[in-house]
């Protein structure tokens, strides 16, 4: 009888441990899935802001109205700062400081020129050229993010077929986020800093 009682206790303990393990695993997977969804939302917000930023800069270049330029450049200022926030929220294992600095300087420059046009002053040829350069840089970022989006869709489908947990998408290298980080790192090593530096200097000069 005592032996049967011990066996019953052991079986009960094993069942309870198994149930606890399943519960913990379920909670962990749910938390990881929620985190992944949050990161993906931040990524798509970033992509949307960058696409919108390129659009308003293109419209600024095409516009002949100082009033419209003021509105467009103010919008560019807001979008550049929003893009920084979304970029900072992504789990990328490389330093994105220089990209965020570029977006900050782009926003500052847009705001400076918007203040000028708000006073009825025309945008100079040098300033128009600088806005074009900024738009070209933003287009490069958009292209990088669009390619990363394609990889995201592919990675999710592959993980679904393989039965891989969503947490694998959050790994550093060899995963989607890692690939995005490597693209950002490659982007940062391109001749971006000199352009951003000139933007800052130009912005300071135009405010006088």
**pLDDT for the residue numbered 43:** 84
Q: What is the CA radius of gyration of the chain?
A: 25
Does residue 154 surpass a pLDDT of 50? yes
pLDDT, position 25: 67
* Residue 57 included in any domain: yes
**Residue 121 belongs to some domain of the structure:** yes
- The model scores a pTM over 0.75: no
DSSP SS3 for 92:
coil
% of the chain surpassing 90 pLDDT: 36
Q: Which two tokens stand for residue 35?
A: 């985190």
Q: Does 131 fall in a domain?
A: yes
Euclidean distance between CA atoms 132 and 126, whole angstroms: 10
Residue 24 belongs to a domain: no
Number of domains in the chain: 1
- Taking alpha carbons only, the member of 135, 67, 76 closest to residue 110 is 76
Q: Range of 174's domain? A: 35-206
- Whether 58 maps to a domain, the answer reads yes
Report yes or no on 26 lying in a domain.
Answer: no
Cα distance between residue 151 and residue 39, in whole Å: 15
Answer whether residue 21 is part of any domain. Answer: no
Interval 79-100: pLDDT, tens: 999 999 998 887 765 557 778 8
For residue 13, being part of any structural domain is answered with: no
Contacts of 43 (CB under 8 A, 6+ apart): 86, 90, 145, 148, 149, 152, 180
């Amino acid at each position: 009888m005592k032996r049967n009682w011990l066996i019953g206790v052991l079986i009960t303990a094993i069942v309870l441990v198994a149930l606890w393990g399943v519960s913990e695993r379920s909670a962990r997977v749910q938390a990881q899935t929620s985190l992944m969804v949050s990161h993906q939302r931040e990524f798509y917000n970033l992509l949307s802001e960058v696409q919108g930023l390129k659009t308003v800069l293109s419209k600024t270049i095409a516009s002949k109205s100082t009033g419209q330029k003021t509105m467009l450049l103010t919008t560019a200022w807001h979008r550049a700062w929003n893009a920084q926030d979304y970029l900072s929220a992504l789990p990328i294992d490389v330093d994105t400081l220089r990209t965020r600095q570029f977006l900050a300087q782009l926003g500052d420059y847009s705001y400076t020129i918007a203040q000028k046009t708000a006073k009825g002053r025309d945008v100079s040829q040098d300033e128009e050229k600088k806005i074009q350069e900024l738009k070209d840089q933003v287009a490069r970022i958009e292209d990088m993010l669009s390619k990363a989006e394609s990889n995201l869709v592919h990675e999710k489908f592959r993980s679904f077929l393989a039965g891989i947990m969503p947490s694998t998408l959050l790994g550093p290298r060899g995963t989607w986020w890692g690939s995005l980080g490597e693209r950002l790192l490659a982007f940062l090593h391109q001749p971006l800093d000199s352009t951003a530096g000139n933007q800052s200097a130009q912005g300071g000069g135009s405010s006088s």
